[in-house]
């Protein structure tokens, strides 16, 4: 394995790292169920679902079979001027399970690209309506929408991952993030900032874009459904589109199939990704209304100006279909409720430590927020030594396990996390 690691450090650039970094790397031999098997023989319980996507765990026989079956027909075919059954069936399935007004599906390569597509849709919609000045986005602080340039422009401008690129990004409008927690019943104070931005800039705003109920990589913050309801009403009042980014929250993670269901609202555009294929392949989708699709096509240049090379890849679409069937035919609600209950019970003791600021849980998401930023290299190794895969960032240690995790596996995962949090010292913080 030393040769593999040497070659990796020489040529391979990992996410959010430097080439040749001396940060710990753990070569993986295989993955099955909720376990990651390392080359050195250690087996880790995965608490991350491979960045929140592998909801069915690894090496699932149903998903494996879907890929093998699709391979017999074709692995890929261009989507320009051609179509195929997996893409059509997947579009129909997504329309069936998302809010009723969403009738048009545009397939993309990744979550970031789905956000780019949504932003382009909104801008092109207003251009078709002879209002080209409505070309800006309004969002809330502490958000995260991806790593491509338009997606970065609507992510948090100060505390996000992309402050380095501020001078090169499109300038967007930002409102204060809601401070209300998930159980809050009063959001009048929280909504004032966004309402003020809409009142002042509505003539230039194409859409409001935000993550529903849970702000993910921007801070794992949970806010009240009523805030989202108020956002929908304000968008209607000021004639602004609403884009909901369900890339991290979609497909049951929060306890609802889609997080916007907590607020009982329908967006004008919805972005999906991550768990869409059960973590098997990269695929995303941007859904919108028939009105937006028709309006966009009526205006110049009469087509939507986007078309990825690997759009609607048949392998990915077939896998997504199998993953959705697996999810919808399972008892996923009870699985997520059981995970939520266990997380609440198992992580609460972390609140007793002075270096812990907060512990919060929603659905299959458990968050331990610390007062100080984490030394990820130090803490990562402690988790591996404890037999779990947990990838903390900034001030957060969080869990998003696969839905198939058993009660005992989740217990073992949480025990490891609780032990590491309790044993943290000055080397584990920046």
Q: Is 125 noted as a catalytic residue in this protein?
A: no
Alpha carbons 142 and 153: distance in angstroms, whole number = 12
Burial class (CB in 10 A: 0-12, 13-18, 19+), 97: middle
Q: Is 144 noted as a catalytic residue in this protein?
A: yes
Q: Which one of the listed residues 109, 226, 245, 428 is annotated catalytic? A: 245
Report in angstroms the alpha-carbon separations of 79 from 85, 306, 311. 12, 12, 6
Q: Is 382 noted as a catalytic residue in this protein?
A: no
Q: Which one of the listed residues 58, 125, 144, 262 is annotated catalytic? A: 144
Alpha carbons 146 and 247: distance in angstroms, whole number = 10
Non-local (6+) Cβ contacts of 337 within 8 A are 255
- Do the Cβ atoms of 40 and 1 come closer than 8 Å? yes
Burial class (CB in 10 A: 0-12, 13-18, 19+), 7: exposed
Q: Which one of the listed residues 16, 200, 331, 381 is annotated catalytic? A: 16
Does a cis peptide bond (omega within 30 degrees of 0) precede residue 372?
no
Alpha carbons 167 and 148: distance in angstroms, whole number = 15
- Which tokens hold the place of 113? 């690209």
In 3D, which of 39, 61, 49, 60 has the Cα closest to residue 410? 49
In 3D, which of 53, 114, 119 has the Cα closest to residue 312? 114
Q: Is 245 noted as a catalytic residue in this protein?
A: yes
Q: Which one of the listed residues 274, 280, 382, 428 is annotated catalytic? A: 274
Element (DSSP H or E) covering residue 338? helix 332-347
Positions marked active-site? 16, 144, 245, 274
């Amino acid at each position: 394995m030393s040769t593999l690691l040497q070659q990796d450090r020489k040529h391979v650039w990992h996410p959010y790292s430097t080439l040749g970094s001396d940060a710990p790397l753990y070569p993986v031999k295989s993955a099955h169920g909720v376990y990651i098997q390392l080359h050195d023989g250690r087996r880790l319980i995965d608490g991350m679902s491979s960045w929140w996507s592998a909801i069915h765990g690894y090496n699932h026989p149903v998903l494996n079979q879907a890929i093998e079956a699709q391979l017999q027909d074709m692995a890929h075919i261009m989507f320009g001027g051609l179509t195929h059954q997996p893409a059509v069936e997947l579009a129909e399935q997504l329309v069936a399970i998302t809010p009723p007004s969403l009738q048009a599906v545009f397939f993309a390569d990744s979550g970031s690209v789905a956000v780019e597509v949504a932003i382009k849709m909104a801008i092109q919609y207003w251009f078709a309506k002879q209002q080209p000045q409505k070309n800006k986005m309004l969002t809330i602080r502490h958000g995260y929408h991806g790593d491509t340039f338009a997606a970065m422009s609507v992510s948090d401008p100060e505390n996000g991952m992309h402050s380095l690129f501020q001078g090169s990004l499109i300038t967007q409008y930002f409102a204060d993030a809601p401070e209300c927690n998930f159980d809050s019943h009063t959001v009048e104070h929280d909504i004032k900032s966004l309402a003020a931005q809409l009142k002042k800039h509505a003539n230039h705003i194409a859409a409001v874009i935000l993550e529903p109920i849970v702000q993910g990589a921007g801070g794992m913050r949970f806010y009240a459904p009523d805030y989202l309801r108020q956002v929908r009403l304000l968008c209607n009042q000021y004639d602004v589109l609403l884009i909901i980014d369900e890339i991290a929250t979609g497909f049951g993670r929060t306890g609802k199939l889609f997080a916007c269901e907590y607020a009982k609202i329908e967006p004008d555009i919805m972005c999906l990704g991550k768990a869409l294929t059960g973590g098997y392949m990269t695929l995303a989708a941007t859904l919108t209304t028939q009105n937006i699709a028709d309006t966009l096509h009526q205006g110049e240049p009469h087509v939507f100006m986007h078309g990825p090379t690997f759009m609607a890849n048949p392998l990915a679409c077939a896998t997504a279909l199998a993953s959705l069937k697996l999810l919808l035919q399972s008892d996923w609600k009870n699985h997520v409720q059981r995970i939520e209950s266990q997380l609440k019970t198992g992580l609460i003791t972390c609140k007793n430590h002075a270096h812990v600021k907060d512990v919060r849980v929603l659905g299959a998401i458990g968050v331990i927020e610390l007062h100080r930023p984490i030394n990820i290299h130090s803490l990562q190794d402690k988790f591996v030594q404890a037999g779990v895969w947990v990838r903390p960032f900034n001030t957060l240690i969080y869990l998003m396990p696969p839905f198939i995790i058993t009660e005992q596996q989740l217990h073992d995962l949480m025990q490891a996390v609780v032990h590491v949090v309790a044993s943290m010292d000055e080397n584990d913080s920046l």
